[in-house]
Structure 1
Amino acid sequence: MSKPGQRVLSSLRQMILSGELKAGERIAEIPTAEALGVSRTPIRIAFRTLEQEGLLIKLERRGYRVREVTNDEVCDSVEVRGVLEGLAARQAAEKGVTEKQKQELQTCLELGGSLFAKGYVTEEDLETYHDLNKRFHSLIIEASNNSTIAAALNRNEHMPFASVSSLAIDRHDLPREYRRFNFAHMQHHAAFDAITHGQGARAEAIMREHANATLRYTDLFCAQPTDKNIIRVIGGAD
């Protein structure tokens, strides 16, 4: 997906999470494109992606409806991802990563570190980090040499915010986003250290914690508490 397309997708996720687009509300391409100041093409692609992620429901007639996402639903799907990615990290540590995989993981860490070194982030920085984050996670899955894990993760990604690609950015509070993503990046360093030193149990624990960090540590990142029934935290930080 192009950078502008990714930005549209991220904006719509945030609008759903913040309640700006309410559960049950009908949305259509033309008014959404006009509101975001883009053409219909990225809106169309974003709607399809959000439907696959379980955030929108396609209507029989034109348009989509915003799906209600409960806290339990998000927690369950993220928990499953943590288990699967934790297993992948443990197996990668036990089997050993190739020199090429190690170098690529290290490159992700170095590039990510350069984004956070200045003490703040821009929207463009976070869009770049999205790609680095996705690559870092895919390398760990690849290093596990376990195709069943990849298949299970692919199925789980159709649940709300279960995908590592489910990035939403609060453009109104970039200082908070800096803390959130920098924290996730530090966890990447810890996971890399455990994997490359063959510490399977430690690698597994770190990746499981990494998947749950955004949900469990909401108060570290969010000024407002979450609603009791509907999740308001931002998924995909890890």
Structure 2
Amino acid sequence: MSKPGQLVLVALRKMIASGELAAGERLMEIPTAQLFGVSRMPVRMAFRTLEQEGLLVRFGGRGFQVRSVSADDIAGAVEVRGVLEGLAARQAAERGLSEAARAVLELCLMQGDQLFDKGYVTEDDLEIYHDLNMRFHQIIVEGSHNPAIADALARNDHLPFASVTALAVDREDMAREYRRFNYAHMQHHSVFDALVSRQGARAEAIMREHANATLRYAEVFSSATADQRMKIILRTE
């Protein structure tokens, strides 16, 4: 996707997450292009991507509509991801990690330790965590050597905010966010230990529990006011 298209895509994601674009609101190419000062093509590509992610639905053949998303929708999709990633972790543990996979996971753990050992996190730190978290999960799925898991996860990722690449951060309470993400990082350490110890059942249980960290989205959508949601940073790239 072009840079203008990526900018439009990220901006629209944030507007949907914050409630600035409410469920049922219609989006058309020309007004949206004028809003962002771009041509229609980047907007068209952004709309298609958001449709694939489950955030937009086609409306009458002439545009798109923001999809209604409930906390139950999000929780259900995250639970499915936990089951699939748990299965991947169990199979990866039973097969044994390759040296290359083990090295990547160890690097992710080391980088995470460097972020959290200072006792606080910044927004920039969590940008870094986003990338290492994505790599960590990807290596585990690949380590299962089960293409069906990756295919099922790809389909589940089309549901709103189900993907592991989606992080919601409350910039008004970074102390709590430090605790939340540091806990998730400690789970990374635990699942790595289970993987290298060839403890499949333990690795599966940890990964299923680990998915619950994403349920911060359910809290955002079920309890936050529109003004509060505007303070949430959405990172899904």
Q: What TM-score range do you get, normalising by the shorter chain?
A: 0.7 to 0.9
CA contact (8 A) 1:88 1:141 kept: yes
Q: Does the alignment pair 1:226 with 2:227?
A: no
CA shift for structure 1 position 101 = 0.5
Distance in 2, matches of 1:155 and 1:2, equals: 24
Distance in 2, matches of 1:47 and 1:179, equals: 35
Instruction: Render the CA deviation track for 1:62-102: whole Å, top value 9, x for unaligned.
Output: 54321001222222211111111001101111111011110
Distance in 2, matches of 1:24 and 1:136, equals: 36
TM-score normalised to the size of structure 2? 0.78
Gaps of 5+ in 2: none
2:122 matched residue in structure 1: 121
Which shifted more, 177-186 or 149-158? 177-186
SS at match of 2:65: strand
Over the aligned positions, Cα root-mean-square deviation in angstroms equals 3.4
Which shifted more, 39-48 or 84-93? 39-48
Q: Name the larger-Rg structure.
A: 2
Distance 1:69 1:217, change over 3 A: closer
Distance in 2, matches of 1:94 and 1:141, equals: 13
Distance in 1, matches of 2:131 and 2:4, equals: 14
CA contact (8 A) 2:161 2:217 kept: no
CA shift for structure 1 position 234 = 8.8
Distance 1:216 1:175, change over 3 A: closer
CA contact (8 A) 1:26 1:63 kept: yes
1:132 matched residue in structure 2: 132
Distance 1:211 1:38, change over 3 A: farther
Distance 1:70 1:164, change over 3 A: same
Instruction: Render the CA deviation track for 1:99-142: whole Å, top value 9, x for unaligned.
Output: 111000111111222233331222x3323222211111110011
How many residues are aligned here?
228
Distance in 2, matches of 1:106 and 1:34, equals: 46
Q: Does the alignment pair 1:112 with 2:112?
A: yes
Distance 1:125 1:39, change over 3 A: farther
Give aligned-pair identity as a percent: 61
TM-score normalised to the size of structure 1? 0.78
Distance in 1, matches of 2:145 and 2:74, equals: 28
Instruction: Render the CA deviation track for 1:40-78: whole Å, top value 9, x for unaligned.
Output: 676655433322111112334554321001222222211
Distance in 1, matches of 2:103 and 2:28, equals: 44
CA contact (8 A) 2:180 2:213 kept: no
Distance in 1, matches of 2:182 and 2:7, equals: 20
CA shift for structure 1 position 204 = 0.4
